[in-house]
Structure 1
C-alpha cells in the first residue's frame, strides 16, 4: 500500500468513526454507569460517586474524580465473591461510600498537588450493603458493612505491585475471605 493511500484510509476511518471523546474518564459523569452489567450470581451497583468521601473531602477533587476506579473496585468485588460463592447462591451489593487509600496534599505546591500521597493517616474505607440469597431464593444474610484497613501499609506485598487500587482490593479480599468464605458462619459445614 502506498503512503498516500494509507493516509486516505486512516483519514476516512477517523471521519466515519463518529465523535471521539478526548476527555479522561470521570466517575461523576452523569452518563457513567451506576452498576455493573448483569452477569452471573453477583450484582454490584453504587450510589452517586460525587457523594463518596473520596470526592467530598478530597484535597484535589478534580484529580480524585478521574478514572474508572469505582467500576474497577466493583468488578474486583464481583470477581472475588464469585470465586467463593457456593453454587446456586447469589449476592446483591450496593456500594454507598468509598475513600481510597491516600490523599492529595496541595501544600506541597504546584509540583506535587496532583500526586496522591499514601500515608497511614489515609486508610482505605468502603461502605456497602448486601443481600445474600440461598439456592432456594431465601435471604440467608444481609447487612451493611463499613470496611476500614488501618494497617494497610503494614500488609506484606511483593513491592512490585503498581495497581493504584491495591490497598482497596486487598481490603475487599480480606472481607470476602473472612465473611463470605466462612461457611461455618452460615451453618453450612
Structure 2
C-alpha cells in the first residue's frame, strides 16, 4: 500500500501529471465564406476577393484576447464574421502599388458579423452587427504602431468593450 501512496503523492506534486483539458476559449470565431470577403488580404493586389490566413488568425487571436479581458467568467461568445473590408487600398498607379496600402479618409475598415453571447450554454443575446470606423485616421497612437491591422483591432476593441464589458459598479 505504501508504494501506491508514494506514487499518488508524486503525481500530485508533478505538474502536468494528470491530463487536464485546457479551458475553452471564451470567444469562438468562425469565418463564413472568407473566399468572398470584399478585402481581407494584405498580400493580394486589391482586386481579388478573399481573406488570407494571416488576417484571419490575427483577428481571431485578438478577439479571443478581448474575450479574456472583457467577458465575465462563465460567458462565451461565438462570432461569425461574414465580411471584412480592411482599412486602406492598394493604388496601382503608385510605384509600390501592391506593397503599401494607402490610407485615405474614404477607405475606412468595416466588418460584418453575427454574434451569440451565452452563459452556461444558454443564449443571453445575439445580433447582427456592422462595424465601421470612419475616423480611423484620427485614432491616437496610430502612427506609433507597426501592427498592419491596427485600425481593425482598434475598431473591434471599441465595439467589444461597449457591447460586452461588465459595467463597473461603484458604491456610494
TM (norm. structure 2) is 0.74
- Does residue 166 in structure 1 map to residue 150 in structure 2? yes
Retained in 2: the 8 A contact 1:124–1:167?
yes
Aligned-pair CA distance for 1:60:
2.7
2:127, 2:142 → 1: CA distance? 34
Aligned-pair CA distance for 1:65:
5.3
1:156 paired residue number: 140
Decide whether aligned partners of structure 1 residues 170 and 55 sit closer, same or farther in structure 2, where only a CA change above 3 A counts.
closer
1:53, 1:40 → 2: CA distance? 28
TM (norm. structure 1) is 0.68
Deviations 1:108-137 (A, max 9, x none): 2xx2211211111100100111101124x3
Q: How many residues align?
A: 143
- Which ranges in structure 1 are unaligned for 5 or more consecutive residues? 1-37, 185-189
C-alpha RMSD over aligned residues:
2.5
1:75, 1:143 → 2: CA distance? 22
- Runs (4 or more) in structure 1 with deviation over 2 Å come to 58-62, 64-67
Selected match of 2:76 from 90, 101, 113: 90
1:91, 1:66 → 2: CA distance? 23
Retained in 2: the 8 A contact 1:102–1:116?
yes
1:121 paired residue number: 106
Decide whether aligned partners of structure 1 residues 107 and 129 sit closer, same or farther in structure 2, where only a CA change above 3 A counts.
same
